[in-house]
Structure 1
């Protein structure tokens, strides 16, 4: 039986690796990105169709979902992968930047979910995989806005999972730790674009020191490893609610049970040592 999947954010990293992984499993893949040129080479593979989609544009979302249903008659899986990280102390991040972060990381997945669910409910079958992060269940200083968007995605997914179970639709969260991809470059660019208040130079110093010694690579995993878990979730008869991927993601599972006073104390110590 031919299975179909719609994936957002396929220009690089996790999204591109996920499209490749589904194609290897002989799914019909709709690989999407804001710029279709970024997924042009994916379209050369048999079974892959490419489309332009901006997850912040409701008309774009509706157009692509309608095209997919017209052409295939079904959507077996939706992978909400498109996203980016807004890094920086909460005070230094403008409200406009917070809104932009939520528009992509939370409202975008919500638009896609609403677009695909009617067809999934009619068939009484389908899987929605939302790509979250280890920061969707814990948080570290300087990631408040990004982590807040992923916490919101996790809460929405947890509610949705119970709401659609009776219709034969599954919802799973994939929670990677650091990934070797262009994600970090985008996050760094967002950090550099902040209007610094001057109150948090200790944070910026720690971040720059960490980056200077290649800290971004500590515990990182290849995007193919995340893609493997996404395909596993999509293919499972009864997918797990969560798939933490990588050593830091698994450590984060434990970290969320650390008492708040202890976690705050650790970060105070880190700041002093920095």
Structure 2
């Protein structure tokens, strides 16, 4: 019998690429998103259910998981992919925008995970895959909110690894580098106040550095294939990097002390 993966944030980028790739490999796919009525590509896949799931709406989370189980009998893998990045000087962010960054990237991930655990525990089987980032291992300027959420995902996932083992399940973390998605568009929440002149030089350097990184980033398919490896390799590996830049930067982070690594990031940005 075909296995089933439920994916959050399937409307674009990594989520959509992963839905397509798993479908091509013969998996059932529960592709979830906030506005499934706008989706006209994944609905054409064989063995795919496209349905609503907003990670900030617990009722939609519960309904999507129930729909997936009713449709395919079992969910074998949960991919927590939904998220976005907030960048900018901390003092210019409203309380509402700060809260939303953590509600989506952290609380939403916890809520979806918590809802699937009883199903995994009952079956004594299941794999939780959380999309982190190289931004969960290192930081760039003005990323206190985004990096804060991804560092949280790393800690949550590592801790859950212990308790999931007690119910016969696994946790995996996928850490992409720069990916050619719309992260610089609708998935990028940038805040600035040009009257805070002290920050503007560094903001300019950040923008100059990020653009070529995204333009030269890996295709979303690269991450999809790493996610598939994590779901199917049968090992107890916890962390998987995705993309050549991710491998390089994570490797450097392991080799260098804090001062050396931060200087390396500054050099990358021309500081």
CA distance 1:150–1:198, shift in 2 (3 Å) = same
Question: 1: CA distance between counterparts of 2:176 and 2:34?
Answer: 23
Q: Which moved more, 1:12-21 or 1:39-48?
A: 39-48
Aligned partners of 1:65 and 1:270: how far apart in 2?
A: 43
Match of 1:177 in 2: 177
Cα distance, 1:263 vs. partner? Answer: 3.4
Between stretches 14-23 and 239-248, larger displacement belongs to 239-248
| Cα shift at 1:239 | 4.4
Corresponding residue of 1:227: 224
Question: Is the 2:79–2:129 Cα contact (8 Å) retained in structure 1?
Answer: yes
Superposed, 1:71-82 pairs within 5 Å as: 71-82=71-82
Q: What is the CA-CA distance between 1:71 and the residue it aligns to? A: 2.8
| Equivalent residues of 2:83, 2:187 under 8 A apart | no
For structure 1, the 5+ residue unaligned runs are none
- The 8 Å contact of residues 177 and 246 in structure 1, kept in 2 or not, is answered as yes
Residue 266 of structure 1: how far off its partner (Å): 4.6
CA 1:211–1:170: 2 relative to 1, 3 Å: closer
Q: Displacement of 1:269 after TM fit? A: 6.2
Secondary structure of 2:84's partner? coil
Quote the Cα distance in structure 1 between the aligned partners of 2:220 and 2:160.
26
1:138 maps to: 138
The answer for the alignment partner of 1:236 in structure 2 is 233
Per-residue Cα deviation, 1:172-215 (whole angstroms, up to 9, x for no partner): 00000000011121355x22x43453320112221343367x44
The aligned length equals 269
Distance 1:110 1:74, change over 3 A: same
Q: Give the structure 2 partner of residue 90 of structure 1.
A: 90
Q: Per-residue deviation at 1:254?
A: 2.4
- Alpha-carbon distance in 2 for matches of 1:210, 1:265: 15
**1:103-126 deviations in Å (ceiling 9; x for gaps):** 111111111111111011111101
CA deviations on 1:46-84 (whole Å, 9 max, x unpaired) are: 101100111111111011112222333311000011111
TM-score by length of 2: 0.92
**Within 5 A, what are the aligned runs for 1:46-125?**
46-125=46-125
Shift of 1:12: 0.9
Using the alignment, how far apart are the partners of 2:257 and 2:133 within structure 1?
21
Structure 2: give runs of 5+ residues left out of the alignment.
none
